[in-house]
């Protein structure tokens, strides 16, 4: 049902419905912890051209030969009894791996920007990325022991978020807390999808 | 999130040292698959057995083929084989060119998106 068959006859065995959510945020904010709290974490590596990593750097004369760099990532997988499979991909935290984000973001249901309230500026670039690409996202502040508590309104102001972006306080180590974040993310994506669809039909588009 | 480099003073032994054959040697230096690269969560299903083809299909290809007897996502194949994603994609391209696998794309931006969202939501609530 939800599959676009890229080749005829692709349904020899039951092909599951798969989809993904992104988990973004600064380095060390708890992305892997969050994924691990709710799903089995699996390692994944990619080898990328350094030439792609260094896009934007004009001087290529010093790079005499092509080299690759390994980016280690991990991802989570939740298989629901209905057969639907949800993948959770953490985005690489370092800015030099930003070129990978487009691939990760393509076709994602939505995104979670995990923030540490002591280092809010680390999440600016993630927020910008999803705003610019119009990917529905929620902000989840991972509460670290001993860190000062801020209200959702404070976090919203500090990140200059649109009013419709949900802001949550979570504990990335706790399964129930992470589950709430995922539910908020998918609920937000669904609401966005529905408001777009009704907007289109009012315009007579469909 | 770690980059695949460790402190220089650490010694890499056995499995940690990585494969004797560098990953890209498995695909003869190619970094792009012959056709459009499959997405991370595209589902691959084996549909054929390789004929004797010593120059095209190697043991890693066969291993990959074995793993997708059951429909399997590209990201899981890369994780299971411990090969870099780019290498897996090139090998999947080889297998696809020979008609040994089928690749099904996940639904994107079409009318079924709402159904997928609802079903994920139901699944999460029941966890």
Q: What is the ipTM of this complex?
A: 0.81
- Cα–Cα distance for residue pair A184/A197, rounded to 1 Å: 20
Specify the DSSP class assigned to residue B3: B
A107 touches chain B (CB under 8 A): yes
Please report the DSSP string for A70-117 in residue order.
EEEEEEEEEE-TTS-EEEEEEPPSSGGGTHHHHHHHTT-SEEEEEE-G
Contacts B113 to A, Cβ<8 Å: 109, 193
Share of chain A above pLDDT 70, in %: 78
Structure tokens at B116: 């997928």
Per the listing, tokens 């390994």 go with A70
Write out chain B's pLDDT in tens, 127 residues.
444 444 555 666 666 666 666 666 666 666 665 556 778 899 999 998 877 665 678 889 999 999 999 999 999 999 999 999 889 999 999 999 889 999 988 644 444 788 899 999 999 999 9
**In chain A, where does DSSP find H-type helix?**
31-38, 50-53, 99-105, 124-132, 152-159, 175-202
pLDDT band, very low/low/confident/very high, at A2 (cuts 50, 70, 90): very low
Nearest 5 degrees, angle CA A41-CA A45-CA A50? 145
Largest CA distance in chain A: 57
What tens digit of pLDDT does each residue of A85-94 get? 999 999 877 6
- Cα–Cα distance for residue pair A133/B61, rounded to 1 Å: 36
Of A17, A38, A70, the CB nearest to B116: A17
């Amino acid at each position: 049902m939800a599959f676009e068959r890229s080749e005829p006859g692709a349904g020899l065995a039951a092909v599951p419905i798969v989809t993904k959510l992104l988990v973004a945020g600064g380095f060390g904010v708890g992305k892997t912890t969050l994924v691990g709290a709710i799903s089995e974490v699996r390692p994944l590596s990619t080898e990328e051209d350094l030439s792609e990593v260094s896009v934007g750097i004009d001087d290529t004369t010093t790079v005499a030969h092509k080299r690759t760099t390994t980016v280690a990532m991990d991802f989570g997988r939740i298989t629901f009894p209905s057969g639907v499979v949800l993948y959770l991909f953490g985005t690489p935290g370092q800015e030099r791996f930003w070129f990978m984000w487009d691939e990760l973001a393509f076709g994602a249901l939505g995104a979670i920007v995990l923030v540490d309230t002591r280092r809010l500026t680390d999440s600016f670039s993630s927020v910008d990325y999803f705003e610019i690409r119009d990917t529905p996202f929620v902000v989840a502040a991972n509460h670290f022991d001993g860190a000062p508590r801020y209200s959702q309104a404070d976090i919203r102001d500090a990140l200059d978020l649109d009013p419709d972006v949900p802001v949550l306080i979570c504990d990335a180590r706790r399964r129930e807390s992470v589950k709430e974040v995922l539910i908020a993310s998918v609920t937000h994506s669904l609401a966005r999808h529905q408001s777009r669809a009704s907007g289109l039909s009012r315009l007579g588009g469909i | 999130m770690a980059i695949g480099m460790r402190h220089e003073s650490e010694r890499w032994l056995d499995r940690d040292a990585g494969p004797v054959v560098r990953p890209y040697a498995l695909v003869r230096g190619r970094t792009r698959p012959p056709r459009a690269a499959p997405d991370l969560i595209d589902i691959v299903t084996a549909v054929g057995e390789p004929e004797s083809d010593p120059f095209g299909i190697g043991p890693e290809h066969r291993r990959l083929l074995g793993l997708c007897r059951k429909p399997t996502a590209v990201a899981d194949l890369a994780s299971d084989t411990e090969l870099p994603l780019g290498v897996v994609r090139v090998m999947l391209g080889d297998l696809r060119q020979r008609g040994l696998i089928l690749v099904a794309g996940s639904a994107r931006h079409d009318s079924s998106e709402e159904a997928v969202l609802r079903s994920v939501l139901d699944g999460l609530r029941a966890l």
